[in-house]
Amino acid sequence: RVAAFAPSFDVDNIRERLAGLTETLGTPLRQIAIGREQDRLDVADVAALWEDDCTAAVALTNSATLMALAALRHLGRTVPDDVSLIGFDDYDWMAVAAPSITAIRQPVREMAQVAWDSLRKRIKGGAALNTHTMHQPELIIRESTAPASR
């Protein structure tokens, strides 16, 4: 019983993250859209979308991780005692939060190298190929995840 938090589920990279998680977990995730910067829901509205039987949440962006934490706090839920939480992108604050946040870390250096190589080819007059490269993320386990208590 896992909820997925994201600004929107209408963006390709978010849909790909959701599909990967669904495949990995073997079950669909309950989608909670928090809204984009200009039309973001407030914490109470996001908390109202939470379903009581969810024992875990995966936030698919940095802002979604922060909103998930705020919504769970608003509901009086503790991480990881009531709900396990996984964030995305492994921002520096995630390692020092209390509890520290388990994160899905993208291989940023590898991604940057692919982008740089593609740009360098275009600068040198090479064909402007529109490519889609998949990279393998890494799960960084910290304090925000635990076995389900119920």
pLDDT at 99: 97
3-state secondary structure of 85: strand
pLDDT at 128: 60
Query: What backbone torsions phi and psi does residue 88 show, to the nearest 5 degrees?
Result: -125, 140
Residue 123 has pLDDT above 90, yes or no: no
Q: How confident is the model at residue 78 (pLDDT cuts 50, 70, 90)?
A: very high
Q: What is the mean pLDDT of residues 60-65?
A: 94
Could you report the per-residue pLDDT of 14-52, keeping only the tens digit for each?
A: 999 999 999 999 999 999 999 877 677 889 989 999 988
State the chain's mean pLDDT as an integer. 90
Q: For residue 137, how many C-alpha atoms fall within 13 Å in the half-sphere facing its CB?
A: 17
Residue 150 has pLDDT above 60, yes or no: no
**Integer CA distances (angstroms), 106 to 51, 102, 120, in order:** 29, 13, 23
